Amino acid sequence: MKKTVFQRRLDRFIFFFASACLILLPLLLLISEIGDEQPLIQGEIISPSGRTDTLQTFPNAYVVGPGQIRIKESSTKMKYLAPRAIIDPMYALLFFISAIIVVVFFWNFSYKNPFTKKALFGLQIGCAILLIFFVANFFRNQWFDEQVRHITNDQFIYDRPSPLASPEFWILLVLVRLMMIFRKGVRLQKEADLTI
């Protein structure tokens, strides 16, 4: 069934509105999180000695609840890189970049003719960014563990999540598979276009 001009405009508007929300929402949350003077940092903060009591005070931080730490005077690096309770700045940045990639490369995406070079390029960029994020997140977690140990005088550690259990790892695998499918699709589409 052929779509009317109104339906096409409505589709465009919905896509534009959703994209704007996807871009603006993490940005606003990121600004609110970074603006916090004493950020609440959420992570698997655990005691290696098995202490279960919470609400402990250290010169530079409080352990305020199970797995949570509030930094008194956080450095810029800590503000931007530490995992947060509401939204992680690094994840927000990834979300923001992903939304831009979706808008730029999949604006004219058509289900009737999905295998285009533009879509393939978008997927390749997405994979590269996710891979960079995956590696950066691994080192970030390592750094944060060192920070928690230092702040709490080795009484607490950051129980680093396994990189293989992280959602970005599985999303990366899906994207790589999708990229392979698209690469083959683009090649077949080119062959079909050059079949006389």
Partner 1 sequence: MPIVVNLDVMLAKRKMSLTELSEKIGISIANLSILKSGKGKAIRFSTLESICKVLDCQPGDILEYMSTTDYNKLMRFG
- Where does this chain bind partner 1 (CB under 8 A)? 190-191, 194-196
Minimum CB–partner distance for residue 111 and partner 1 (Å): 25
**Would you put residue 60 in left (φ > 0), alpha (ψ -120 to 50) or beta?**
alpha
Minimum CB–partner distance for residue 184 and partner 1 (Å): 15
Rounded Cα gap, residues 84 and 74, in angstroms: 13
Rank residues 108 and 195 by Cβ distance to partner 1 and give the closer one: 195
Cα angle, residue 148 at apex, residues 142 and 149 outer, rounded to 5°: 90
Minimum CB–partner distance for residue 189 and partner 1 (Å): 11
User: 154 with 41: CB under 8 angstroms?
Assistant: no
Minimum CB–partner distance for residue 191 and partner 1 (Å): 5
Rank residues 10 and 188 by Cβ distance to partner 1 and give the closer one: 188
Rank residues 165 and 194 by Cβ distance to partner 1 and give the closer one: 194
Minimum CB–partner distance for residue 188 and partner 1 (Å): 10
Strands (E), 6-148: 40-42, 45-46, 56-58, 61-65, 68-71
Structure tokens at 191: 């062959």
Rank residues 1 and 194 by Cβ distance to partner 1 and give the closer one: 194
DSSP SS3 for 166: coil
Rank residues 12 and 190 by Cβ distance to partner 1 and give the closer one: 190
User: 68 with 40: CB under 8 angstroms?
Assistant: yes
